[in-house]
Amino acid sequence: MMKKSKPPNSRRVEIQQLYQSYTSDQTTMPVCTLLRFLHKEQMELTANEEMAESLIDRYEIEETARKSRSMTFEGFFRYMESKDCCVFNQAHTSVYQDMNQPLTSYFISSSHNTYLTGDQLVGKSRLDAYVCALRKGCRCLEIDCWDGPDMEPVVYHGYTLTTKILFKDVITTVEQHAFEVSAYPVILSLENHCSQEQQEVMARHLITLLGDKLLRAPLDHPATGGLPSPNDLKYKVLIKNKKLKAEREEAAGTEAEGYVDEGEDDDEEEEDEDEEVEDHQTKTKFWYPRKAGPKKTKKKVVVAKALSDLVIYTGSVKFISFSQAKDNQSPSENTSMAEKKARKLVKASAADFVQHNQNFLSRIYPAGSRTSSSNYNPQEFWNVGSQLVALNFQSLGLPMDLNDGRFQDNGGCGYVLKPAVLTSSRRSFDPGSSRRSHKPTHLLLKVISGSNLPVRRSGKAVDPFVRVEIHGIASDSRRKNTHTVKNNSLSPHWDTDMNFSIRIPELCLVRFCVRDQTGLLSSEFVGQYTLPFTSLKKGYRWVPLLSRDGCNLDPASLFVFVWLS
């Protein structure tokens, strides 16, 4: 259904109507009326007269109004267009969460094949891919290490035509940029294919290049049996790799072992006949047949002691089962598994997966068949509390939008505290069957209008509609569309109410996506913005819009009204 749009500057008109509904015939808005507006419309229940006066000081430039402690429409308009009225809670642009919980209690921004800037077959490996990931708040970087010439290990995607970079250059880059945007620990996830001799070279580079930043011994922290906290590990780099278990193995009367395998992990994927991968943008499913011929035999190389000694809290072990982990795994040991194996475990025993992730770190990585470096939807693994949900940061689209939305919370520091449903040991949580056990929260979203949307490449105005998506547990995940406005990029007006009933809001992300209706059943991406449900501000708010590659499309934005009950 197509509707005609309001004339240009419709948002100014809408804000003027709002202003007049509070001021009636008065020429300015006195501080007591502004306070009433803040309480009633913006749901700023803690606002007091002092706060209202500070808004007048900040946004009112007419001297007479400021002296009389009131606000003209121009001041009110400046306030309504300011960060104070952004849909994202500005208190969440700084670190505000408890950073003294063990590492297992956080979602940690994690990258897969961090060195790649393109696909996994012929893509380029570049040092600035590490810089980009770190500047986006990524805290777990992957480094694929292989023997290189002149005893210098190299980083690339093995058995492919991807270009190679030196391991020592990667570590130098990490040292330079690790703590530019976040003080919290960086985990280097080594996919280690090197001989013992070149592993010793790796260990030397880590020690000499990282210096004091490298964590080389356990911290003196209360012997709770768990892992230290992000605060305990500030400005430290942790090495994630397999570790020699000399003492434990000797105590058991067996030979010490710590193998490096050719491949991310011994994973079920190689044993399955074929694999189904879904493109989450188009909902198209693709089948990848298993390669014909004999199965490649993995050669095993023992971990060099020099490298093993640098693995403190993040020793990689093979996942066998939740019960085996409960009985045998140490808190300083973690597992990695491909998305398909993880998905099977979510379907078979999600509550056990949640409990496992209360005690241990788990890393999920994209299927090997994603040769184009596409991504899975990370929400399905956050729902069971997996901390290191690794994505290909170079691949744009919905999964990375969700990752960026999740981790813009808590000051963009790369660590977000998991909600209580995932960390409480008092009651088990199953994201697949929580429909009846939690009282729903009702979200009313009124999508009012847009402003200054990007035009098509041809210069022609778009035919925009807004899709609002809720990403959370399966029963909470929904999406709703406004109608389409014809031929209006400047000031489309929708005035559409959307109602959502949400059981576990603290796990949800809200994604606003503006699309251009290009045909009866086709549309194209214009801009989007994703944020955690818990960061939503109530009342009349504007929504910034980002391009596909995450750049701000300012002044493009949406104007919405948010109500929760």
As annotated, the active-site residues are 112, 157
The answer to whether residues 404 and 391 touch, using CB atoms and an 8 Å cutoff, is no
Please identify which residue in the block is written with the tokens 């209706």: 517
User: How big is the chain, counted in residues?
Assistant: 565
Report the b/e string of 203-231 with b at 16+ CB within 10 A: bebbeebbeebbbeeeeeeeeeebbbbbe
The answer to whether residues 223 and 177 touch, using CB atoms and an 8 Å cutoff, is no
- In DSSP notation, 300-330 reads EEEPPHHHHTT-SS-EE-----HHHHHHH--
| Dist. CA 506–CA 76, nearest whole Å | 32
Residue 247: strand, helix, or coil = helix
Query: Which amino acid belongs to residue 339?
Result: E
The answer to whether residues 402 and 509 touch, using CB atoms and an 8 Å cutoff, is yes
| Dist. CA 103–CA 420, nearest whole Å | 15
Residue 224: strand, helix, or coil = coil
| Dist. CA 291–CA 306, nearest whole Å | 37
The answer to whether residues 303 and 199 touch, using CB atoms and an 8 Å cutoff, is yes
The answer to whether residues 472 and 465 touch, using CB atoms and an 8 Å cutoff, is no
Beta strands per DSSP E along 400-463: 415-417, 441-451
Query: Which amino acid belongs to residue 288?
Result: Y
Please compute, for residue 91, the number of CA atoms within 13 A of its CA located in the half-sphere on the CB side.
7
| Dist. CA 71–CA 35, nearest whole Å | 11
CA 19, distance to chain mean position in Å, is 37
Alpha helix segments (H runs only) across 329-477: 339-359, 379-382, 398-407, 420-423
The answer to whether residues 393 and 133 touch, using CB atoms and an 8 Å cutoff, is yes
Residue 41: strand, helix, or coil = coil
Please identify which residue in the block is written with the tokens 């004339």: 7
| Dist. CA 185–CA 103, nearest whole Å | 10
Q: List C-alpha distances in Å: 518 to 93, 172, 479.
A: 36, 47, 20
Q: List C-alpha distances in Å: 135 to 129, 131, 138, 232, 404.
A: 10, 6, 7, 22, 12
